[in-house]
Amino acid sequence: MGFPLLSLIIFLPVAGAVVVLFMRDAQTIKWTAFAVTLVDFGLCLLLLLSFDTSTHEMQFAEQRNWIPALGIKYAVAVDGISVLFVFLTALLGWICVLASWNAIAKMIKAFMVSLLTMQALMLGVFSALDLFLFYVFWEAMLVPMYAIIGIWGGERRVYAAFKFFLYTLAGSVLFLIGIIVLYFQGGRTFDILALMNADLGFVTQAWLFFAFLIAFAVKVPMVPVHTWLPDAHVEAPTAGSIILAGVLLKMGTYGFLRFSLPMLPEASVHFSTLMLVLSAVAIVYGGLLALAQDDLKKLVAYSSISHMGFVTLGIFALNSRGVTGGILQMFNHGITTGALFLFVGLMYERTHSRSIADYGGLMKIAPLCSIFLGLFTLSSMALPGLNSFVGELLILSGAFAANPLLAGISILGAVLAAAYLLSMFRRVALGAARVGERFDFWDLDRRELASILPLAVLVIWIGLYPKPFLSIIQISTDHLLTQVHEKEGAE
């Protein structure tokens, strides 16, 4: 065990939060939070660069006994499935701080503490190798997130926060039961890697699969347990929306990849068609809902449901292209939707309106803002040459191998995405410059540009040259699929 890089990454934001607690001046607090998240991001970059893409084994592993009586350990590590999300969390971390710079007016200290704590917990979720530890991180996240929505949110923030809390908690209860069952059935261990090799009977697997399904489906969110999402997004401050869309939604699909597939392979294969159906429903239904929105945030929120449907479609295609595409698309969605929420936020700061009808002609007043908004809009609708297209192509190609009918239906979601996104962009950015008559709308400032540029670079980079990212994912995916299919074949 070498230098504990991963632990440093996870706990640096906590340390930052503690330091911030003792500060008074708002500017100092903001700059400290920014510095901490930026350093954390730098460390993650280091982690990504020194990540070995030639093995599926866990890397940067650390392990210490925590509660020996129950065999609970503090064990963290990353593999090709999780490392990208550790990176994504840290990337969005400092962007969230920048996005909150002027938007958060009250209790800035408490907000930054929540944000930093949130970041630490999210990083923990993606790196935990002990099921108990994972659950602790997973549940603890609810508290700062509840605060971020409930204190700094919009008018109906308490309702939205409560709804978010209830849905997630309901899922978590089942998850907890599942964990306990796993502990006893899997040889009295919380070691995630060991549990992957546990030999569970099909019936146990099936029950666990559904317990996990509900917990994860709430997070993704899959239809019909998606209704908390639009409320949470609309009421959350910009940073909250970015975290929700960029990272929290990924935890649901990450759960499928880390637990359901490798630990419950037979059930996963058995119920894969059901999952594909649910995915296709989410894709089309989410798209239709997005089409009907006038509220920018709701539109992006519903589009997330549709896009995350593509991710689950790829994962439960249970073949190399589908799963690889699904993981890449999780990353893509984090970048693109994160950026879109960033734009909704900065537009709201200027106009205090999220209604598409209030905008129009943005291109004439704020060309830079419009062009970047256009880029992320196109990325979200999966324009060839941009990041989401690569993911969508892989997912659909995998889905056609698994279930051509459902893949065909899912294509509808792609058409709908083009429809609601392009029409949104046309109504917001093109035409007569109405927005300038009513609001003082200034173009992007340097702080905003700094947070947008890295995302824009990633959008184009992954769109044309996704290989570095795919090579991170590939070996772990292949290993995951052997885990799934080997056990299934052994039966």
- 107 binds another protein per the rule CB under 8 A: no
List 42, 224, 404, 489, residue binding another protein (CB under 8 A): 404
- 23 binds another protein per the rule CB under 8 A: no
CA distances from 244 to 54, 119, 144, 226, 439 (A): 32, 12, 12, 13, 29
Distance of closest approach, residue 313 Cβ to another protein, in angstroms: 12
Give the whole-angstrom CA distance, residue 238 versus residue 467. 31
Residue closer to another protein by CB (options 83, 394) is 394
- 464 binds another protein per the rule CB under 8 A: yes
- 442 binds another protein per the rule CB under 8 A: no
- 422 binds another protein per the rule CB under 8 A: yes
- 346 binds another protein per the rule CB under 8 A: no
- Can you say whether residue 107 is alpha, beta or left, with left for phi > 0 and alpha for psi between -120 and 50 degrees? left
Crossing angle of the two packed helices 157-185 and 131-140, in degrees rounded to 10: 170
- 438 binds another protein per the rule CB under 8 A: no
Torsion of CA 282, 288, 289, 294, to 10 degrees: 150
Distance of closest approach, residue 206 Cβ to another protein, in angstroms: 30
| Torsion angles phi and psi, residue 61, rounded to 5 | -75, 140
- 417 binds another protein per the rule CB under 8 A: yes
Residue closer to another protein by CB (options 442, 465) is 465
- 431 binds another protein per the rule CB under 8 A: yes
- 411 binds another protein per the rule CB under 8 A: yes
Distance of closest approach, residue 384 Cβ to another protein, in angstroms: 4
Distance of closest approach, residue 260 Cβ to another protein, in angstroms: 24
What are 290's two structure tokens?
Answer: 């997005």
List 467, 482, 486, 489, residue binding another protein (CB under 8 A): 467
List 61, 393, 449, 475, residue binding another protein (CB under 8 A): 393
Contacts of 31 (CB under 8 A, 6+ apart): none
CB 284 within 8 A of CB 412: yes
Region of 53-61, 83-91, 103-111, 387-395 interacting with another protein (CB under 8 A): 387-395
Class of residue 27 by CB neighbours under 10 A (exposed 0-12, middle 13-18, buried 19+): exposed
CA angle 240, 297, 326 (to 5 degrees): 75
Give the whole-angstrom CA distance, residue 10 versus residue 123. 6
- 415 binds another protein per the rule CB under 8 A: yes
- 433 binds another protein per the rule CB under 8 A: no
CA contacts within 13 A on the Cβ side of 24: 0
Region of 110-118, 253-261, 419-427, 475-483 interacting with another protein (CB under 8 A): 419-427
- 458 binds another protein per the rule CB under 8 A: no
What are 19's two structure tokens?
Answer: 């330091």
CB 267 within 8 A of CB 205: yes
Q: Which of 213, 273, 282 is nearest to 402 (CA)?
A: 273
Distance of closest approach, residue 478 Cβ to another protein, in angstroms: 12
The size of the interface with another protein (CB under 8 A), counted in residues, is 37
Query: What is the contact mask toward another protein in residues 292 to 331, using x (rule: CB under 8 A)?
Result: -----------------------------x----------
Query: What is the contact mask toward another protein in residues 366 to 385, using x (rule: CB under 8 A)?
Result: ------------x--xxxxx
Distance of closest approach, residue 136 Cβ to another protein, in angstroms: 38
- Can you say whether residue 71 is alpha, beta or left, with left for phi > 0 and alpha for psi between -120 and 50 degrees? left
List 401, 449, 456, 475, residue binding another protein (CB under 8 A): 401
Beta bridge partners of 65: 73
CB 225 within 8 A of CB 218: yes
Task: Please report, as ranges, the residues that interact with another protein according to CB under 8 A.
Answer: 321, 378, 381-385, 390, 392-394, 396-401, 404, 407-408, 411-412, 414-415, 417-419, 422, 426, 430-432, 464-467, 470
